[in-house]
């Protein structure tokens, strides 16, 4: 019995939705479950309650003991205490802005680096599968079986990499185990207690693919240039593996993340004191908007920092792997149709002249 891949939403549906921003702009505004609202609503409300208390203790007669923070006259000179000084909010706004921009940009770069790397994996898988199936000359039943098994390993590389990035340690997933069963070390009986953490499975699969390429070259089933192209493609897959490992294993430095949260909290806690004198009761809705916006930006950075999970904002890795599987299967299914001897007469030349059949 193989493990199923559990997802919270269809990757295809997520990808389709994300590719149609223009037509679903207004719907996305109400898509609370896919936003950061559930993550930031509680701290936003808590800080808004804090702002309401500050406003009450400043403006309500009888309990407005915070009025001592208002500007007052001393020795004929107007003295502005720090809690209501616009200098503090200006300085903190600049600092918080810089911290949030760096945080968000770094997370965004990691997200698109991961997306670009998976695009490269699809390209290399397509080309490697095409070269193995078409450019190698072996046509016996055994040789065709070996080529199909090698193409299985290309797909297994993608799916094992997906599970590794998601820290899903087992190997007996339904989208992985059947495509490894022809390898002795990955026989179903051995997969019951095996895990991806025991060994770097994607890397090991590239060893098997490289061995198969060497076998083709030794049997004179591919020429030197084709072997070189195949080796380069395998090397590129390993480079993609390394890049994705770097993204997953190198999060934002903990000290930076902690300091950003502390500075953001300090800023939001002190903000009511800066605006209550000029805004009065409007301090409460202003704080709600400010906390939701700033905490939301910080939460978005945290979500897309590691884009390989199951969050709505993460990359649709299952969809990427399914596309690779579908395209590799298409190559195998068209077993002989690519041969020129099986072509039909063209109906039209590129010159525009119709062909007389």
pLDDT tens column, 126-157: 999 999 998 888 778 898 889 999 999 999 99
Residue 39 C-beta-side C-alpha neighbours within 13 Å: 16
Question: Average of pLDDT values for 280-303?
Answer: 92
Residue 80: what pLDDT? 41
Average pLDDT, the chain: 82
Q: Identify the band that residue 287 occupies on the pLDDT scale cut at 50, 70 and 90.
A: very high
- Evaluate the CA torsion angle 310, 315, 319, 324 in order and state its sign: negative
If phi > 0 it is left, if psi is from -120 to 50 it is alpha, else beta; for residue 167 that is left
pLDDT computed for residue 193 by the predictor? 58
Q: Which tokens belong to 145?
A: 């079986």
Q: What is the pLDDT of residue 10?
A: 45
- How far apart CA 128 and CA 126 sit, in angstroms, is 6
């Amino acid at each position: 019995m193989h493990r199923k891949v559990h997802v919270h939403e269809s990757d295809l549906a997520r990808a389709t939705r994300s590719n149609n921003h223009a037509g679903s702009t207004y719907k996305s505004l109400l898509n609370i479950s896919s936003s950061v609202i559930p993550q930031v609503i509680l701290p936003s409300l808590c800080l808004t309650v804090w702002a309401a208390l500050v406003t009450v203790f400043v403006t309500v007669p009888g309990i407005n003991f915070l009025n001592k923070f208002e500007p007052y006259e001393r020795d004929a000179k107007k003295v502005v205490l720090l809690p209501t000084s616009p200098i503090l909010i200006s300085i903190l706004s600049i600092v918080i802005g810089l911290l949030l921009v760096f945080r968000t940009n770094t997370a965004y770069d990691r997200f698109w680096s991961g997306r670009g790397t998976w695009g490269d994996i699809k390209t290399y898988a397509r080309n490697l599968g095409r070269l193995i199936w078409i450019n190698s000359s072996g046509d016996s039943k055994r040789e065709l079986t070996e080529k199909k098994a090698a193409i299985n390993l290309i797909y297994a590389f993608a799916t094992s990499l997906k599970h590794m990035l998601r820290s899903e340690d087992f190997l007996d997933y339904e989208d992985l185990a059947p495509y490894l069963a022809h390898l002795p070390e990955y026989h179903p009986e051995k997969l019951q207690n095996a895990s991806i953490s025991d060994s770097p499975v994607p890397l090991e699969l590239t060893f098997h693919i490289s061995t198969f390429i060497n076998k083709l070259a030794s049997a004179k089933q591919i020429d030197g240039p084709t072997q070189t192209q195949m080796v380069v493609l395998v090397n590129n897959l390993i480079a993609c593996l390394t890049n994705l490992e770097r993204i997953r294993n190198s999060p934002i430095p903990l000290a930076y993340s902690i300091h950003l949260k502390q500075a953001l909290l300090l800023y939001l806690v002190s903000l009511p004191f800066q605006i209550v004198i000029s805004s009065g009761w409007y301090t409460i809705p202003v704080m709600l908007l400010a906390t939701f916006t700033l905490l939301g930006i910080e939460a978005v950075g945290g979500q897309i920092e590691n884009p390989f999970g199951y969050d709505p904002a993460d990359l649709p890795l299952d969809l990427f792997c399914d596309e690779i599987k579908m395209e590799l299967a298409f190559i195998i299914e068209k077993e002989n149709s690519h041969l020129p001897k099986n072509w039909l007469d063209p109906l039209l030349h590129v010159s525009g002249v119709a062909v007389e059949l």
